[in-house]
Amino acid sequence: MSEAAVKKLPRIVINEKFCKGCSICIDFCPTDVLELKGNCVAVKNLEACTRCQLCDLRCPDFAIQVFD
Amino acid sequence: MSEKKKKLLQGNEACVEGAIYAGCKFYAGYPITPSTEIAEGMSVRLPKVGGKFIQMEDEIAGMAATIGGSLAGFKSLTATSGPGFSLKQEALGYACLAEIPCVIVNVMRGGPSTGYPTGPSQSDIMQAKWGTHGDHPAISVTPAYVQEILTETVRAFNLSEKYRTPVVVLYDEIVGHMREPITIPAPGELEVIDRAKPDCKPEEYFPYDDRYLIAPLAPFGSGYRFHVTGLNHKQDGFPTNDSKVIRENNERIMRKIEDNKEDIWKNEEIFLDDAEIAVFAIGSTARSARFAVEKMRAEGIKAGLLRPLTIWPFPDKAVRELSKRVKAIIVPEMNLGQMVLEVERCSKGAEVLGIHRVDGEPINPGQIIEAIKKFK
Amino acid sequence: MSAPAVTEKKEKISVPFDYNKYLRPNKLPHIWCPGCGHGIVLKAMLRAIHNAGLDQDKVCVVSGIGCSSRTPGYVDFNTLHTLHGRALSFATGIKFAKPDMKVIVVTGDGDALAIGGNHFIHTCRRNIDLTVLVFTNATYGMTGGQYSPTTPIGSQATTSRYGSIEPPFDACEMAKAAGATFVARGTAYHTLELEKTILEAINHKGTSVVDIIDACPTYFGRMNKYKSATHMMEVIEKDGTVNVKQADKLPPEKVQGKALRGVLHKVERPEYCEQYESLIMEKAKGK
C-alpha cells in the first residue's frame, strides 16, 4: 500500500450561508489550502491541510471548521 | 415583630418602612437632597433582612443597578430627587419597555436645574409621566401624609410587581421631611403582591409571551435563560424590525395600564357629595387644601376636595364626573401649571383655576380659601 | 501567495470546538461586517466559558450599546442588552443581588471608556466580581465610524476628517489605576492566547478587565488606508503588540510603541459581594 493511499484527508466544512468572504482564513492559512470563490471561501488544496484549525479559530463568522 | 407598632417617623423614614414591609430586598442609589434619608435608612435596614444596599457612583448607575437587582429576582428600590430623577430617565424608560418591575421615589425639590434643593416643589409631575423618551406607560402614586408614604410605597411595589413596570412614588420635600406619628402595620395587615413567575418548561418560556397581557417574569439564574433588550422586541425578547410586532408590543405596554386604570386609581374625596366648588390637590398642597375646605364648610360654603393618590394614570374619570357637578375646580400646585392642564383636559363644564407657587414656600390654606371665595 | 508566519504555538486539536452548545439557534449569521474582529473574540469567549466549566444557567452576559454589545443576543445564557455605557451598572445590580452567578460584561471601547467611563472606574474600585471584556476597535461602528476614546492621534474618522487630536486612553492602565485586581490585554489575532486570558479573567475573583484589540475594517480600516481585515490584524494586532513575557527579553526598540498583551496586573484584594456578606450583613444581624 502506498503512503498516499493511507493518508487520511481532513474534512473542511464551510457554511456558505454564514461566510461573508472576509478572507481572514485564506490569508492566515499557513499552507495555502483555501481560496475565495465569489464571496465565499472554498477549498483549493485539501492535501496541504495540516488540521491546525487556524482558519476556524480566526473565522469571525462561525463559517469554517476542520474535522479530522 | 420586636418593633413597637407606633412610631414618630419622618416621611422618608416611613418610605423605608414601606419598602421593607413590601419585601424590598435591593436598593441602589446615589445621595441627593431631600431624599437621602431613604438611602441611609435602606443601608441600615436591608442587610438585617437579608437584602442588599449599594451606593452607586451616580444616579444613572443607581437606576441601572436597581433594574439589575430586579432582574435577578428581587424587589428593588431607588430614591432620588429632581436632578437625579432627570438622570434616571433613560433607564426608567428601559424598565418600561423591558417590563422590569422596580420602584423609584422622587422627593420633589425646587427646580429647574439644581434649583432649590431644600425647598419643596411639585414640579416633577409631568416629568414622572413624560420624562423618558418615547411613548411609555406611567404609574405614579402621590402620598400626602407620613403614614400614607408607608402604605403608598407598599402599593407602589404591588402595582410594579403586578403590572411588570416601574412605579414612581412622588411626594414633595414637606411630606418627605415632616415627622408624624404612624403605625407600622402588622405582617399580613397590608396586601403584598409578588410578581408572577413562570411554571412552564424553560424551553417553552417567553419573557414577553404574547398570550398574556402581562407575562410572568423569571429571575435570571433560575434556569430560564432568556434575552432582555431595550430594543423593540418580539415575545421571545429578541430585537425585531417587524412593524406589526413593534406596534403591538408598544400598544400592549400602554394597554396593561390603560385597561387596568380602575385598579390603579385611588382617590380620597372630602365633602364632594354636595360640593359646588372643588379643589384638586396632591401632597402637602392637599393638606393645605383640606384645611381650607374644612374652614369653608364651617362658614357654610360648599367646598370639597378631590385628592388623587394615583396621579398617573391621571384620574380623568373622577375629574370628568366631578366637573359636571361643580362650578369650579381649583388646582393648587407647587409649580407653574402642570396638573391644571390635565384637569382642564378632563373638565366638562366646570371652570378650572390654577394656583401656582415656585418660591420654595408651601401653598397655604389662605391662598386656597381666597380662590374658593371667588366662586361662591 | 506567501502565508504570514504563524506566531502562535499550535495546539493539536483533533475535533473542532462545538460552539452550537453556547449559541442560540437561528440567531446567526450575526450582524457584524465582513472581517470584523468581534466574531473572533466571541468565539474565544465561548471556548473560555466552556473551559471554565460554567453552568449556562448561572452565567449572565451583559452588554451596553454598540456593535460588540450585540454579543448577548447570540449566546445561550442569561443575557441582557442594556443602555449605552451602563452595562457595568446593570451587571453590578445582578451580581450583587445574586453573587452565585458568573457575570460577564461585553462592552466596546466607547461604551466602556467614554459614555460609561465613570462606571468603569468605580466597578474597578469596588472590585466586584465581574469579568469585563472591552472590545477595542477604536471606532464607534454602530453609528458609522466616529473617533472613540481609543482612536490613535492622527487617525481618520467620520468626526475627525483632519485627523484625531485627542490622545487615546489605555484601558489597562486606567483599570489598574482604578483598582481592578486583574488586568490583561489580548487581540483577536492571538485568539488562543486570548482564550486563555479570558479563562484566567473568568476564574479570577474580583473585577477582571480584558482589553481586546480587534479590527473594524469597515470604518477604521477603510478610513485609515488599511487594505483588508487581514492587513489590520497584521499591523495593529500582530505587529502592534507584544506579549508582556516576551517584552522583558526584547531590546527596548522592539517594544517601543507596542501595546502589551497578556496578564498585565494581578493582585488579590477582598471582593465586594463577599465583603458585603461577611462584614455588612453579619454586623447588621447583631444589631
The pLDDT value recorded for residue C13 is 52
Confidence of residue C286 (pLDDT cuts 50, 70, 90): confident
Q: Which of A18, A28, A51 sits opposite C29 (nearest CB)?
A: A18
Are C189 and A32 a contacting pair at CB < 8 A? no
Residues 162-221 of C with CB under 8 A from B: none
Task: State the fold for domain A18-67.
Answer: Alpha-Beta Plaits (3.30.70)
Sign of CA dihedral C244, C249, C252, C258: negative
Asked whether the beta carbons of residue B61 and residue C92 sit closer than 8 angstroms, the reply is: yes
Interchain contact, A20 vs C37, CB within 8 Å: no
Q: What is the mean pLDDT of chain B?
A: 97
Find the closest chain B residue to C65 by CA distance: B230
Cβ of residue C25 closer than 8 Å to a chain A Cβ: no
* Residue C14, pLDDT score: 62
DSSP3 helix / strand / coil % (chain B, rounded to 5): 40, 20, 40
Question: What does the block give as the cell for B357?
Answer: 407657587
Let me know if domain B267-374 sits in CATH 3.50.50.60. Answer: no
Residues forming CATH 3.40.50.920 domain(s) in chain B? 267-374
Residue extents of the structural domains in chain A: 18-67
A21-60 confidence digits (pLDDT tens): 999 999 999 999 999 999 999 999 999 999 999 999 999 9
Q: Is the pLDDT of residue C211 over 80?
A: yes
Residue B239, chain C, CB below 8 Å: the answer is yes
A20 Cβ under 8 Å from any chain C Cβ: yes
ipTM surpassing 0.85, yes or no? yes
Each residue's pLDDT, cut to its tens digit, for chain B (376 residues) gives 444 589 999 999 999 999 999 999 999 999 999 999 999 999 999 999 999 999 999 999 999 999 999 999 999 999 999 999 999 999 999 999 999 999 999 999 999 999 999 999 999 999 999 999 999 999 999 999 999 999 999 999 999 999 999 999 999 999 999 999 999 999 999 999 999 999 999 999 999 999 999 999 999 999 999 999 999 999 999 999 999 999 999 999 999 999 999 999 999 999 999 999 999 999 999 999 999 999 999 999 999 999 999 999 999 999 999 999 999 999 999 999 999 999 999 999 999 999 999 999 999 999 999 999 999 8
Q: How far apart are CA A25 and CA A49, in angstroms?
A: 12
Model confidence over B157-186: pLDDT tens digits?
Answer: 999 999 999 999 999 999 999 999 999 999
Helices (H), B299-338: 316-325
Tell me the pLDDT tens digit for each residue of C154-195: 999 999 999 999 999 999 999 999 999 999 999 999 999 999
Question: Tell me: the pLDDT tens digits for B269-325?
Answer: 999 999 999 999 999 999 999 999 999 999 999 999 999 999 999 999 999 999 999
pLDDT at B95 (0 to 100)? 98
pLDDT of C3: 45
CA–CA distance, B75 with C235 (Å, rounded to integer): 50
Residue C80 has pLDDT above 90, yes or no: yes
- Selecting from C24, C100, C276 the residue whose C-beta is nearest the C-beta of B52 gives C276
What's the domain range around C169?
A: 20-286
Cα–Cα dist C273/C278, whole Å: 9
Segment C202-226 shows an average pLDDT of 98
For A30, nearest residue in chain C (alpha carbons): C3
Task: Tell me whether residue C13 is in a domain.
Answer: no
DSSP, collapsed to helix, strand or coil, labels residue B25 as: coil
For residue C280, list chain B residues with Cβ-Cβ distance below 8 A.
47, 53
A24 to chain C, any CB pair closer than 8 A? The answer is: yes
Q: What is the CATH number of the domain that holds C144?
A: 3.40.50.970
CATH superfamily of B6-183: Thiamin diphosphate (ThDP)-binding fold, Pyr/PP domains (3.40.50.970)
B 86-115: CB under 8 A from C: 90-91, 94
| Alpha carbon of C92: minimum distance to chain B alpha carbons (Å) | 6
Which residue in chain C has the smallest CA separation from B49?
A: C285
* Residue C30 belongs to some domain of the structure: yes
Average pLDDT, chain C: 95
Q: Is residue C12 part of a domain?
A: no
Task: Identify all chain A residues contacting C190, using CB atoms and an 8 Å cutoff.
Answer: none
Question: What residue ranges of chain B are covered by domains with CATH 3.40.50.970?
Answer: 6-183
B368 CA to chain C: closest CA distance, Å? 45
**Which residues of C fall within a CB distance of 8 Å from A56?**
16-17
Query: Cβ of B358: how many Cβ atoms within 10 Å?
Result: 18
Rounded to whole angstroms, how far apart are CA atoms B234 and B246?
8
Q: Which chains touch C (3 or more CB pairs under 8 A)?
A: A, B
Q: Pick the closest to residue C154 from C225, C259, C242, C233 (CA basis).
A: C225
C92 touching B, CB under 8 A? yes
Return the amino acid letter for C152: P
| Interface B:A, ≥3 CB–CB pairs < 8 Å | no
Res B244: pLDDT: 98
What's the number of domains chain C is made of? 1
With pLDDT > 90 as the criterion, what percentage of chain C qualifies?
Answer: 92
C215 near C145, Cβ under 8 Å?
Answer: no
Is A36 touching C (CB cutoff 8 A)?
A: no
**In chain B, positions 279-318, which contact chain C (CB-CB < 8 Å)?**
none
> Which residues on adjacent β-strands are paired with residue B305?
B270, B279
Structure confidence at residue A6 as a pLDDT band (50, 70, 90):
low
Q: Which of C23, C143, C98, C90 is nearest to B228 (CA)?
A: C90
The pLDDT assigned to C285 comes to: 84
Instruction: Confirm whether C122 is domain-assigned.
Output: yes
> What is the structure's pLDDT at A4?
52
- Contacts with C19 from chain A: Cβ below 8 Å: 62
Helix (H, G, I), strand (E, B) or coil at C174: helix
